[in-house]
Chains A and B, each alone.
Chain A
Amino acid sequence: MSQVGKLGYVDSKLGAPSSGQQTTRILFNTIEVPGITSSLSFFKNFQGLTNGQTNLTQNKLDSMESMVIKTIWLAQYNSSGALNTFGTDLQQTLSIIVGNQTVVKNLPIQFNQGQNGQAFDRLHENAAVVVDTLTSETATYQRCIPVEIRLLTDIVIPPQVAFEVRVESNSANYGTGAVVCALSGYGKIFSAGSSF
């Protein structure tokens, strides 16, 4: 089933509206000054974040909006804006919870980044390998790239259902800058059409 068909199928099962503008949707959320922690919860706290740090105001989509997640993207920045490897080289697992259901469970992310990583997909090549160990990274001199995992199944976030992305580790150091999670895929946004 295509992602378009899957979204329509789930929306109709839930009685959600099937109209709306079909588009590519990327949701993102930032955690400031994460420090050393065993658990990060993205899309949970929106207080104090600007439009440059998240494009949602609550942990759910609007009543007329829904989306299919195709890609999970994670990045860690230091306080100067330079990109670092996410959680250094420690093993970390990622779970996505939609409503009261875990839809992605303990997916390891470390393989898709880091110098020792073996990415899940063939396209990913040398994700997050530090290409220059001689020069320190700065905001305008980037030595690695963010972590990205392309999902094999279409995960649907229905309208008005709370969701969360959880990253767990054994006390990974996420630094004093910020960590960002983006969920990218296909979605529907509200379109009034001729209603107004």
Chain B
Amino acid sequence: MALSAQDKILYVANKLGLSSLGQMQGSTGAVYDVDTDVSGQIFSSASRHQNPGVTNVTQNEFEVNEALLVENIAFYVRDNSGNVRNFQQVYGSNAVIVFDLVIGNKRVMKDTPVFGSGSPYTFANVATATVNDGAEGTAPGVLPRHQVFMEGAGILIPPQVQWYVDYRVFNIVTGSSIFISSASAIGCYLFGTRVLLNFNTTI
């Protein structure tokens, strides 16, 4: 039988000596941030960002007895007005994000591509929106998805350990780097099973 998300959290917690994590509130959650500085790193500057306009975390580490089992990583673009936009629509089908996920001092996702034209696992345009090319009555184009659905049971970000996403954007046809404008900054969310601090009857 496959390892469940809860089993994986408890397994890692046990390895790290986090004996009380299993008594906390299990939940579903996501964290997001945008690289507004165009530094090539997402989440590492989250403490300076507007909440919730740019990010929903106050720093790039969880507090005591909180954790996230990352099961889905997605990328998007945030424009100057704060709107969420589709990566392909802004940077093109030929753009590819190559990213690492770093937890503590360990790289847990290595040189992983997210294709502008739509990533593996995202299965065609199921559940994606379509965009009209502007002229009324014409057929819509495709807005592909830019996600990585984690195989296995996901990867745990434990409490009080910093994490960030390192990324670069290339043109996959020519191989050259693509200039990222701060007006169309790259954002990322990590979604999965969440552990929330639960005091029970302590306070």
Q: Which residues of A contact B (CB under 8 A)?
A: 2-4, 21-26, 28, 30, 32, 48-53, 55, 68, 70-71, 73, 75, 77, 79, 81-83, 119, 121, 123-128, 131-135, 137-146, 148, 150, 177-178, 180, 182, 184-186, 189, 191
Contacts and interface: CB of A to CB of B under 8 A. Distances in A.
B142 A26 contact: no
Interface in B57-76: none
A191 B106 contact: yes
B133 A135 contact: yes
A25 B142 contact: no
Contacts, number: 177
A191 B150 CA distance: 19
A126 B125 contact: yes
A21 B106 contact: yes
B94 A81 contact: yes
Interface stretch (B19-27, B44-52, B173-181, B188-196): B173-181
Contact of A125 (B3, B95, B96, B126): B126
B140 A132 contact: yes
B3 A143 contact: no
B93 A81 contact: yes
Nearest to A28: B113
Given A21-B106, A125-B124, A139 B151 contact: no
Contacts of B16: none
Interface in B90-144: 90-96, 98, 106-113, 115, 117-121, 123-126, 130, 133, 138-144
Interface of B: 1-3, 88-96, 98, 106-113, 115, 117-121, 123-126, 130, 133, 138-144, 148-152, 155, 168-173, 175-177
B115 A178 contact: no
B138 A51 contact: no
A4 B3 contact: yes
B121 A145 contact: no
A180 B151 contact: no
8 contacts: A24-B112, A55-B112, A123-B124, A125-B126, A128-B124, A131-B141, A142-B141, A148-B123
A124 B123 CA distance: 5
A131 B124 CA distance: 12
Contacts of A184: 120-121
Question: Closest 10 interchain pairs by CB?
Answer: A52-B170, A81-B94, A139-B92, A50-B175, A186-B151, A55-B111, A184-B120, A132-B139, A83-B93, A73-B120
A110 to B, nearest CB: 15
A38 to B, nearest CB: 22
A125 B92 contact: no
Given A21-B106, A53-B170, 12 more contacts: A23-B150, A24-B152, A52-B168, A52-B177, A53-B175, A77-B94, A81-B171, A133-B139, A135-B138, A142-B141, A143-B141, A148-B124
